[in-house]
Amino acid sequence: MRYYSAHRALDGNALAGLLAEVFVGEMTSAKATCAGCGLTGSLAETDAYVGGPGMVLRCRACQAILGRIVRSRESVWLDLSGVTAMQIQAVS
According to the model, what pLDDT value does residue 34 have?
98
Q: 31 with 87: CB under 8 angstroms?
A: yes
What per-residue confidence (pLDDT) applies to 69?
Answer: 94
- Looking at the chain, the number of H-run helices and the number of E-run strands are 1, 7
Give the burial string for 58-90 (b: 16+ CB within 10 Å, else e). Answer: bbeeeeebbbbeeeeeeeeeeeeebbeebebee
User: For each of the chain's 92 residues, which pLDDT tens digit applies?
Assistant: 556 555 677 888 888 888 788 778 788 999 999 999 999 999 999 999 998 889 999 999 999 999 999 999 999 999 999 999 999 888 76
What pLDDT does residue 84 have?
Answer: 98
Q: Cα separation of 52 and 17, whole Å?
A: 33
Residue 14 has a pLDDT of 86
Q: Which pLDDT does position 12 carry in this prediction?
A: 80
Domain coordinates in residue numbering, the chain = 6-87
Distance, CA of 9 to CA of 1 (rounded, Å): 16
